[in-house]
């Protein structure tokens, strides 16, 4: 069975691709490689693996000809990045992914899985499930919701569409992200002995380990069509909903150091607690990892020098840098200068 993973060189994608290959699937990764392709160095020589450098907005659909399943992860991948250029965010995260899904159906791909996000719940009291009303507060969240709304109706007998609304992810990946809550807390602790906590710390958020969310993609693809076709699943687990202040305390405890912290940012207006009953009951999904283990593994990797916090690990800073470089190069070209 052949699987196309868009955004396969990213934080989740690079872990997912490896898992798929380990399970014996043929895997093609389509990515712009905004964070480089060395994130896939462990799998690059695998005979079942193929790399395509292209963009979901304009790739040649002929590549879908021998694909059985598409996992659509390519996107500008968080709220602050989504605001750098909202038009581009919509063009990629909404129109780009609708394009991938529409072409997948046209080219007889059997299964399509959209990487969406629990961020579409925005701010809500109470515990939210897949039928709860949504409240997307940012361009990133709105693009996710609009993509869901356009893509789900494409589901048909021969085209199984599944939406995975992932919790906030944590843990180690070849494309490391320190702009995710648990990873960022651990980095701050490692560097300054204090955990940075986004104000005011009472906000709720659900979490899932990067290997567990990758496992969920594979589970969705391997499940009976009747169970997943046209369905939305929140990806995570009920016991991994945390208030941010309590989470910070837990990370300190996991690392085994006294709890010291510092506040940053403006009070976060996003807060959501999510029910993961549906994925647990229907797909029998159960995470293998907890934030305690995630914090510990990231801390150990920092200590051993296996990961470091270069510019690329803060997604919004890296995209800002790329946009500035792009503008600079254009200006130089317009002035007739050769770089
Ligand atoms: N990491 C999380 O906590 C989280 C939570 C919920 C949902 N998600 C979603 O999961 C997906 C993967 O997230 P991630 O954390 O791995 O992000 P990431 O930024 O690490 O990876 C995204 C990948 O997509 C590629 N890409 C971006 N635009 C592209 C385009 N136009 N064409 C082709 N490739 C393009 C990038 O080069 C990158 O390799 C995203 O859709 C994200 O919104 C992530």
Rounded to the nearest angstrom, the distance between the alpha carbon of 262 and the centre of ligand 1 is 29
Name the domain count of the chain.
1
Confidence label for 303 from pLDDT (cuts 50, 70 and 90): very high
Rounded to the nearest angstrom, the distance between the alpha carbon of 71 and the centre of ligand 1 is 11
Report the nearest-CA residue for atom 34 of ligand 1. Answer: 31
The verdict on residue 259 lying in a domain is: no
Cβ-based burial of 156 (10 A; exposed 0-12, middle 13-18, buried ≥19): exposed
- Is 13 close to ligand 1, i.e. is its CB under 6 Å away? yes
Alpha carbon distance 74, 136 (integer Å): 19
**Per-residue pLDDT, 335:** 65
State percent of the chain over pLDDT 70.
97
Report the nearest-CA residue for atom 19 of ligand 1. Answer: 77
Report the nearest-CA residue for atom 32 of ligand 1. Answer: 55
Q: List Cβ neighbours of 179 (8 Å cut-off, separation of 6 or more).
A: 78, 80, 313, 314, 315, 316
Query: pLDDT by residue (tens digit) across 182-196?
Result: 999 999 999 999 999
Residue 327 CA: distances (Å) to CA of 55, 93, 332: 19, 22, 9
The verdict on residue 303 lying in a domain is: no
**Per-residue pLDDT, 138:** 95
Given ligand 1 and candidates 4, 11, 53, 70, which is best to mutate, with the most ligand atoms within 8 Å of its CB? 11
**Per-residue pLDDT, 267:** 85
Mean pLDDT of 274-286: 98
318-326 contacts at long range (C-beta below 8 A, 24 or more positions apart):
318/34, 318/35, 319/34, 319/76, 319/81, 319/84, 320/84, 322/34, 323/84, 323/85
The verdict on residue 279 lying in a domain is: yes
Rounded to the nearest angstrom, the distance between the alpha carbon of 10 and the centre of ligand 1 is 6
Cβ–Cβ under 8 Å, residues 189 and 251: yes
The verdict on residue 306 lying in a domain is: no
Alpha carbon distance 112, 115 (integer Å): 10
Q: List Cβ neighbours of 282 (8 Å cut-off, separation of 6 or more).
A: 223, 227, 231, 233
Query: Which atom of ligand 1 sits closest to the CA of residue 96?
Result: 31
Query: pLDDT by residue (tens digit) across 84-95?
Result: 999 999 999 999
- Is 234 close to ligand 1, i.e. is its CB under 6 Å away? no
The verdict on residue 321 lying in a domain is: no
What is the residue whose two structure tokens read 């994608």? 13
The verdict on residue 217 lying in a domain is: yes
pLDDT above 80 (res 44): yes
- Is 175 close to ligand 1, i.e. is its CB under 6 Å away? yes
Mean pLDDT of 55-71: 98
What is the residue whose two structure tokens read 């648990």? 182
Mean pLDDT of 264-290: 94
Cβ–Cβ under 8 Å, residues 143 and 252: no
Cβ–Cβ under 8 Å, residues 212 and 143: no
The verdict on residue 38 lying in a domain is: yes
Rounded to the nearest angstrom, the distance between the alpha carbon of 93 and the centre of ligand 1 is 9
Give the DSSP H/E element, type plus range, for residue 192.
Answer: helix 181-192
pLDDT above 50 (res 338): no
The verdict on residue 322 lying in a domain is: no
Confidence label for 12 from pLDDT (cuts 50, 70 and 90): very high
Cβ–Cβ contacts within 10 Å for residue 263, how many? 13
Regarding beta strands 2-6 and 26-31, do their DSSP bridges make them parallel or antiparallel, or are they unpaired?
A: parallel
Mean pLDDT of 327-336: 68
Rounded to the nearest angstrom, the distance between the alpha carbon of 9 and the centre of ligand 1 is 9
- Token pair for residue 110? 């059997």
Confidence label for 125 from pLDDT (cuts 50, 70 and 90): confident
Rounded to the nearest angstrom, the distance between the alpha carbon of 70 and the centre of ligand 1 is 14
- Is 74 close to ligand 1, i.e. is its CB under 6 Å away? yes
- Token pair for residue 300? 């150990």
**Per-residue pLDDT, 162:** 98
Alpha carbon distance 255, 252 (integer Å): 5
**Per-residue pLDDT, 315:** 97
Question: Residue 220's domain is classified under what CATH number?
Answer: 3.40.50.720
Give the DSSP H/E element, type plus range, for residue 125.
Answer: strand 123-128
**Per-residue pLDDT, 179:** 96
Report the nearest-CA residue for atom 42 of ligand 1. Answer: 77
Higher pLDDT, 10 or 266: 10
Q: Which of 5-9, 150-154, 186-190, 324-328 has the lowest mean pLDDT?
A: 324-328
- Is 75 close to ligand 1, i.e. is its CB under 6 Å away? yes
**Per-residue pLDDT, 334:** 66
**Per-residue pLDDT, 333:** 67
pLDDT above 90 (res 124): no
- Residue 11, SS3? helix
**Per-residue pLDDT, 339:** 43
pLDDT above 80 (res 103): yes
Mean pLDDT of 113-140: 94
Rounded to the nearest angstrom, the distance between the alpha carbon of 125 and the centre of ligand 1 is 28
Confidence label for 268 from pLDDT (cuts 50, 70 and 90): confident
**Per-residue pLDDT, 270:** 82
What is the residue whose two structure tokens read 């009920």? 238
- Is 77 close to ligand 1, i.e. is its CB under 6 Å away? yes
Where do the DSSP E strands lie in 160-260? 160-166, 168-170, 195-198, 204-209, 231-235, 241-243
Query: What domain range includes position 66?
Result: 2-176+206-249+270-290
Cβ–Cβ under 8 Å, residues 195 and 251: yes
């Amino acid at each position: 069975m052949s699987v196309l993973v868009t955004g396969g060189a990213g934080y989740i994608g690079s872990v997912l691709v490896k898992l798929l290959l380990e399970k014996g699937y043929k895997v093609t990764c389509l990515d712009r490689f905004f964070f480089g392709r060395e994130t896939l160095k462990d799998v690059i020589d695998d005979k079942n693996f193929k790399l395509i450098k292209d963009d979901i907005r304009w790739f040649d659909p002929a590549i879908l000809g021998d694909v059985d399943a598409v996992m659509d992860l390519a996107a500008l991948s968080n709220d602050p990045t989504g605001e750098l250029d909202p038009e581009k965010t919509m063009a990629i995260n909404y129109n780009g992914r609708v394009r991938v899904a529409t072409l997948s159906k046209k080219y007889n791909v059997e299964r399509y899985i959209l990487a969406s996000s629990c961020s579409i719940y925005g701010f809500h009291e109470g515990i939210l499930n897949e039928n709860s009303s949504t409240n997307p507060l940012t361009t990133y969240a709105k693009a996710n919701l609009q993509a869901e709304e356009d893509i789900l109706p494409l589901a048909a007998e021969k085209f199984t569409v599944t939406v995975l609304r992932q919790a906030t992810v944590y843990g180690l990946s070849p494309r490391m992200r320190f702009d995710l809550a648990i990873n960022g807390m651990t980095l701050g602790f490692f560097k300054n002995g204090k955990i940075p906590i986004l104000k005011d710390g009472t906000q709720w958020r659900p979490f899932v380990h990067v290997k567990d969310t990758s496992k969920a993609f594979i589970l969705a693809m391997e499940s009976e069509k009747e169970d997943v076709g046209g369905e939305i699943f929140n990806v995570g687990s009920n016991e991994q909903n945390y208030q941010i202040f309590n989470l910070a305390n837990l990370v300190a405890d996991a690392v085994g150091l006294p709890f010291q912290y510092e506040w940053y940012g403006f009070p976060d207006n996003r807060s959501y607690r999510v029910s993961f009953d549906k994925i647990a009951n229907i797909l029998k999904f159960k995470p293998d990892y907890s934030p305690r283990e995630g914090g510990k593994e990231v801390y150990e990797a920092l200590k051993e020098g296996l990961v470091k916090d270069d510019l690329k690990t803060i997604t919004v800073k890296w995209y800002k840098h790329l946009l500035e470089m792009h503008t600079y190069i254009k200006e130089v070209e317009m002035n007739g200068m050769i770089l």
